[in-house]
Each structure stands twice: as structure tokens, then as C-alpha cells.
Amino acid sequence: MAVRRRVRRGRPLHRRADRHPDPAARPVRPEGGRTDMITGNLKASYAADERVLDNGYKQGFVLAAAALCALMPFIANDYIILVASQMGIMLIAVVGVNVVIGYTGLLSLGHAAFMAIGAYSVPILHRAMAAAGLPDAIMPFIAIPGAIALSALVGIVVGLPSLRVKGLYLAVATLSANFIIIFLIELEALAPWTGGLVGLNTPDANLLGWELDTQREMFALIAALAFVTILAVQNLFRTRVGRAFIAIRERDYSAEILGISLLRYKLMSFAISAACCGLAGALFAYFYARILPEQFELALSLQLVAALIVGGMGRTMGPVFGVIIIVMVPEILKFTFGAIAGGAAEVAQLRAPIQEIIFGLLIIFFLLFEPMGINHLVDRGLRALNRWPFARG
């Protein structure tokens, strides 16, 4: 009886035995089973798969950044220290925004209010501790955690609408909370505590007798806390809590079916995000001699969201790249208009609207052409460099 063979386009589907008739023509696999062609980033163990800095280029970048921050107070001028300190404060806040928007998928436009709560908590708590007779050397160790805790509590309250609404409606709800908090700060009845429209003078940080009364000394504290915040948030998303946040971002209904409490984890996301912004606000108060309500209005919230979109949402280094761009754009415009106008007031007045236009164009560009932000572009470049000369793009 004839044996049927399945044939496609006149050729049998089984593997031909004479594909390599000459044994010498077959590719030789070296010892250990690795071929000569590099096709990916090999992970040979669970520890290697869990490693955050999984290649030498990322490790070199982080080490170089840490070394630069350590040397900057000794080699940089006052202007660079000022800009770097502003970047560090905004970076901590954007890391917090990344928790709730980038990792949990909850759109919020009210994080400037959390910074305001953290900033105003510092002088108020200092005044209360001074009345209680506590020494200045321990006040920052109480004021900073107090500002973080108070911001987290307000974040839980502001996050309550996320249990019922999401998307644009949640953004409007958090934006309303921002307006309400700024209104309360400016309220005349609360002026004895908040200073009202004229603001509050802020104290200097005194760490166990070391008074941080210069920008260089404050930069050291800001840089250290920025590194700690990034590391803490990065490790958070390698835990059960972080995986729950990501599951809610992907599909909250499915996450609830899997047993993830939306009530618990959505409010926890807002609390952690607000706590980071509260820390940024506390450092803001220690860095500047005076704080005003107008410093924490809608424009600041939009800058935080713009930095996250430009840098890359849901990525560890996204806030870093986004903050560099958002902080440097006004400085570049300042130098450009100064060189063009030569100090003319009419031309200098155009700087603010042009700055807002550039921010808007950056957001539109990255949303349309690279939604994963600068971080994704850098990752692609590092992967290609890590596999060179075999990679193409």
C-alpha cells in the first residue's frame, strides 16, 4: 500500500536529512553551548534577571552620575548648584507622580498641592517645636517625616475619587483638589499659620548641629535624598505592592478578579506618590528663604506631568531625563533671549509664553511619536551598543 505524504507546493513537510550532507559544513558550537552570534542579553540565573543595572553601560551611567553629584559642591559654581538643586527637588516630586500615573495608571493633575503641604508643614512644625522647647538640631528629623506623613494623608483623601472615576474625570477631580488646597493656604482665617498671600519665611535645616545655611550644603542633602527616593521606588515595584499597582494599570477589572483590592492599592498609590511630593516640598522649604502660594499652583503640576511624559512613564530613569529637559528649557531660553534682546524688557516678556509653547510641543511630540519617552530612546541605544557589532539599531 502506498504511503501518503503531506506535500505543500510540491515539497514534503518533513525535515530533509540531507540539509547538511557534509558534516564539516555544519555550524560548530563552542564549549558551554554558546554560539558566536550574540542574539540577546543572556540571563542565566534569577539573580541576573532581577538585576536592575543589567549591563555595564547602565552601571557606568549610574556610577558616573553619583560621582558627579558628589563632586559638584566642590567644582561647580553657584549658578550650577542652584539649577542642580532645582532638578533634585523636582526629580523627587516627578518620581512620586510616576508612581500614580506611570505605574498605577491613574491620571492626576494635583501633585503641586502635595508639594505645598510638605513645604508649609516645615515652618509650621518648626514653630510648634520651638514653642515646645525642642532644640533646633533635631527639628528636621521631625519636620521632614511630619511633612511626608501629612502629605500622604491628604493624598489618601484626594485619591478617594479614583475609586469611582478615572481618566479625564479623575484628572479634573485632582485638579479641583489642587485649587482647594491653594485656596485654603491663601485664606485669611488661616493666615496666622500659613501666612496667607504673603507666604512664610522658612528655617534653615540643622542636622545635629550641622546647619545647612548654604546652597552647596543643601544640594548635598537634596542629592542624597533623591538617590534614596529613586532606589526606594524602584525596589517597591519588585514587591507584591508594586506588582499590584502595575496590574491595576493594565486592567483594573482583571486585577480585582485576581484578588487585588482596588480600594487598598489605589489609595496606597496616591499616599506613596503624595509622600514623595511632600518630601520634595519639605526640601523646597529648606532650600528657599520664603515660600508663597503662587509657587504651587497649576503651572507646577503641569510641569511635573510634562517632565514625566517627556522622560518616560512607568520607567525608573524616565523622571531623570524628563526633569533635565524641563528644568533646562527655561535656562536655555533665558540665555538665548538675553543674548538676542540685550536686556530689552519687551523681548524678555516673550520668554514666559514661549516657554509654555515649548512645553506643549514637547508633550505633543512625545505622545505622538515616542509615548515611552526619552528613556526608551536611551534604552534602545544602550541595547544596540551592548550588542555591537551584531545589532542593527
Mean pLDDT (10-residue bins), the chain, 393 residues:
49 47 47 46 66 68 84 87 92 94 90 93 92 87 94 93 85 90 90 86 86 86 92 87 91 88 92 95 92 89 91 88 89 76 63 79 85 85 72 52
| Nearest alpha-carbon partner for 115 in 90, 142, 143, 84 | 90
- Distance spanning both ends of the chain, measured CA to CA: 56
**pLDDT for residue 209:** 81
DSSP at 25 = G
Residue 320 CA to residue 314 CA, distance in Å, equals: 12
Look at the chain and report how many structural domains it folds into. 1
Instruction: Provide the residue range defining the domain that includes 107.
Output: 77-294
Residue 260: how many other CB atoms lie within 10 Å: 18
Which pTM was predicted?
0.82
Residue 225 lies in a domain: yes
